[in-house]
Structure 1
Amino acid sequence: MKAEQINLIFNQFTHKGEFESYQELVSGHINDTYLIKTKKKPYFVLQRINQGVFKDVTGLIENKVAVSDHIQEKLKDLPKKKLYRRVLVFVKTKERAPYYQDNSGNYWNLMYFIDDSLTFETVNDIEIAYEAGKLFGDFLNMTSDFDTSKLIEVIPRFHDMSFRYSQFQSAIQSVSKERLYKAKSCIDRVMDLKEEMHIIQNLKEAGDIKLRVTHNDTKISNALFTKENKGLCVIDTDTVMPGIVHYDFGDAIRTICSTAAEDETNLDLVEFNVEYYKAYTKGFLEKMESSLSPLELKYLSLGAKTMIFIMALRFLTDYLNNDVYYKTKYPEHNLDRAKNQFKLIECFSKKYQELQNI
């Protein structure tokens, strides 16, 4: 987009900045995100939400603004400068709306940019794992009293195991003989784990596990750190919606504790890092333990195994469906991703009792 277009949209919001320049931020894969540099700080982040991926864009924006406002209320005793570094702060339009819709029907939101911060794509240090645990635990703790009935389900049935199994079974019905043969070992693993992988889903549906605000994308790159490697702020809250604690704990563990990229084909390199698990869990429970029921606590480690499995299942299902969802670089890419995640489950299972004891 041209600078004058960006400036025009930027000036629909009630900021006090004077536009100077902008640059696209390419770390995300879904939305169009721009850093707005003004003549005097603070800077801002302008974002266009992808309506192809998210069907209820206004609901999505209202979700993340409501959760942000809730956290700000918890932190209201902080000086303004510190508050604006601990939580995403959104700017309203001149019509006092949380978003602006342009002439093409695109929806935009604006937030303050958090300067002097770091992100990590992978974890290579126990301290980072520990600080990430504190950060995501604190996010869940501060939103534990939020009324989830006020949130829409941004991606319906996102972590619903029954739904994912249904997709998998439908894919098997129409898969080619060649792909069915190549995927047989992974399919067998899915069937072996079916009962165990429904335990948390069944507890959720029975109402035994509390429905709460969950982030639903707790990868390490969605945590901001100070230059001293201390946890600062949870970002990218587009997928905030009702869920259970095991989703966020499990997805963070899946991404933080694997020793290899999720499409690594040399499975000898895929291991589960117990030390990172200990560090993350320690930080997470320091912030979160008082908000957890004994049942939630009991099943945290199974939550991690379940989230690894659900990604394996989704990669496998997409392979069986001829790669219609995830971008692939070669014909067996999704199958390799699935094998990688099943290897991680195998490593996790061998250490399960140790992890449960933690």
Structure 2
Amino acid sequence: MQSFSWLPEVNRLYGFQITENKIRPFGDGHIHQTFLIDWEDKKFILQRFNHQVFQFPERISHNHDILIREIDPEKLPFILPLPIPNMHGELFSVIDGQYFRLAPFVEGKCVNEVDYPHQAYLAAKAFAQFIVAGIHIKASLLQESIPNFHDLQLRYQQLLQSVSSTQRQVKGELKELVDFYLDQKKLVEEYALWKSKLPLRMTHSDTKINNLIYADDFSKVNAVIDLDTIMAGYVFYDFGDLVRTVACTEGESSQNWENIKVDMPKYAALLKGFQEVGEGAFTKEEIQSLPYGGQMMTCIMGFRFLADYLNGNVYYTIHYEEQNLHRAKNQMFLLKALQRI
């Protein structure tokens, strides 16, 4: 039986009179506990925030406050459902040691994969428009909600450490994977080169397709959501994560190795969306860096999956012992395919 012992305090802090029958669980998110609330003629999303995963909620509030102050919602073709301040003006409400936040509910469809290139194009446009909307914001003002999240150089060093300290026998299939990923030194060096050339921007930093809400008929994007990972980053981060998750012919847990390829129509649609929005806003070097982003983000996930397997599967949820090994192998095939483009 669901306990809503926190409800009276939520009502007090937000000026509601919500009853338990107006609350129901919502979505299939794995990090935060999410509820849909009906109050008078409006709907809201209430989240019990997992501050074990995001250990710096004050940094997220800081970044969201910048967005609230600096981004004009009238200049965006979609909604940013940012947290609603409570009666004290705070974006998080702490109740019995737990963090809660309230946000407007946005109608539409949230999907885990796209079926057509045009849907990929709309996704790329939306995430690029988000970056452009905040291009005037000094990226150094943003705080790291997850430190070193996309630092390829650090992830490479972590993989090296995992290889040297693992209790597993590095032979056979595991040795092939270790050798492949350690041979990506050139990609790591290219990362350092792009960092020296490119400006830091406000990036979404987790551009999965399910972090968008489409219109019911998929004619447009209604909202860009899951804004907890907003940080200073590079444009190729957001493009690259889209490529990794949208333009692959198989999901990241697939073992259909021979079927893991780049879906070129979707890849071209993603590139078109970013280039169209970025023209005149992004630098020439930022546009040139986009194809590298797909390789880099695929490689970094391969590093992370493989390191986790070597460390004894301590970070990612697995359903069988070799799943992180297979995820790393999956990303290897995708990276090889991207490197052939």
TM-score, normalising length: structure 2:
0.93
Between the aligned partners of 2:214 and 2:161, the Cα distance in structure 1 is: 42
Between the aligned partners of 2:53 and 2:159, the Cα distance in structure 1 is: 21
* Counterpart position of 2:83: 90
Between the aligned partners of 1:330 and 1:124, the Cα distance in structure 2 is: 29
Between the aligned partners of 1:12 and 1:140, the Cα distance in structure 2 is: 32
Between the aligned partners of 1:203 and 1:287, the Cα distance in structure 2 is: 21
Between the aligned partners of 2:27 and 2:106, the Cα distance in structure 1 is: 16
Offset, 1:236: 0.3
Asked if residue 222 in structure 1 is aligned to residue 211 in structure 2, the reply is yes
Q: CA RMSD in A?
A: 1.9
Between the aligned partners of 1:259 and 1:276, the Cα distance in structure 2 is: 10
Offset, 1:32: 1.6
- Structure 1 residues 180 and 170: CA distance shift in structure 2, 3 A: farther
- Structure 1 residues 68 and 289: CA distance shift in structure 2, 3 A: farther
Give the partner amino acid of 2:122: E
Offset, 1:7: 4.9
Work out whether residues 172 and 180 of structure 1, in 8 Å CA contact, stay in contact via their aligned partners in 2: no
Between the aligned partners of 1:10 and 1:291, the Cα distance in structure 2 is: 43
Give the partner amino acid of 2:164: Q
* Counterpart position of 1:41: 41
Between the aligned partners of 1:65 and 1:18, the Cα distance in structure 2 is: 26
Asked if residue 187 in structure 1 is aligned to residue 186 in structure 2, the reply is no
Among 98, 105, 121, the residue aligned to 2:97: 105
Offset, 1:65: 3.6
Question: 1:102-150 CA distances to partner (integer Å, 9 max, x unpaired)?
Answer: 1x222221111112x1111111111111111111111111011112232
Offset, 1:27: 2.2
Among 258, 262, 274, the residue aligned to 1:272: 262
Residues 35-74 of structure 1 correspond to what in structure 2 (within 5 A)? 35-38=36-39, 40-71=40-71, 73-74=72-73
Among 278, 290, 297, the residue aligned to 1:307: 297
Asked if residue 23 in structure 1 is aligned to residue 24 in structure 2, the reply is yes
Between the aligned partners of 2:194 and 2:301, the Cα distance in structure 1 is: 20
* Counterpart position of 2:329: 339
Question: 1:7-57 CA distances to partner (integer Å, 9 max, x unpaired)?
Answer: 53244125x67555111224221112211122x322111112211112211
Work out whether residues 257 and 277 of structure 1, in 8 Å CA contact, stay in contact via their aligned partners in 2: yes
After superposing the two structures, state which structure 1 stretch, 338-347 or 189-198, moved more.
189-198
Offset, 1:286: 1.9
- Structure 1 residues 32 and 69: CA distance shift in structure 2, 3 A: farther
* Counterpart position of 2:74: 75
Between the aligned partners of 1:68 and 1:140, the Cα distance in structure 2 is: 15
Offset, 1:288: 2.0
Among 339, 348, 351, the residue aligned to 2:338: 348
Work out whether residues 134 and 231 of structure 1, in 8 Å CA contact, stay in contact via their aligned partners in 2: no
Offset, 1:197: 2.9
Give the partner amino acid of 1:114: V
- The alignment-based identity, stated in percent, is 31
Work out whether residues 121 and 273 of structure 2, in 8 Å CA contact, stay in contact via their aligned partners in 1: yes
Q: Secondary structure at the match of 2:169?
A: helix
- Structure 1 residues 310 and 199: CA distance shift in structure 2, 3 A: same
Between the aligned partners of 2:303 and 2:269, the Cα distance in structure 1 is: 27
Q: Secondary structure at the match of 2:136?
A: coil
Give the partner amino acid of 1:196: L
TM-score, normalising length: structure 1:
0.89
Work out whether residues 135 and 232 of structure 1, in 8 Å CA contact, stay in contact via their aligned partners in 2: no
Question: 1:225-258 CA distances to partner (integer Å, 9 max, x unpaired)?
Answer: 1112111211000111111111111001110001
Between the aligned partners of 2:245 and 2:297, the Cα distance in structure 1 is: 10
- Structure 1 residues 182 and 10: CA distance shift in structure 2, 3 A: farther
Give the partner amino acid of 2:79: R
Structure 2: any 5+ residue segments left out of the alignment? none
Offset, 1:179: 4.5
Structure 1: any 5+ residue segments left out of the alignment? 352-358
How many residues are aligned here?
Answer: 338
* Counterpart position of 1:356: none
Work out whether residues 208 and 245 of structure 2, in 8 Å CA contact, stay in contact via their aligned partners in 1: yes
Question: 1:45-100 CA distances to partner (integer Å, 9 max, x unpaired)?
Answer: 111221111221122123124224433x2516x9xxxx8x6221431111122221
Among 106, 122, 135, the residue aligned to 2:126: 135
- Structure 1 residues 196 and 106: CA distance shift in structure 2, 3 A: same
- Structure 1 residues 17 and 259: CA distance shift in structure 2, 3 A: farther
Question: 1:267-287 CA distances to partner (integer Å, 9 max, x unpaired)?
Answer: 012111010011122122222
Between the aligned partners of 1:272 and 1:6, the Cα distance in structure 2 is: 47
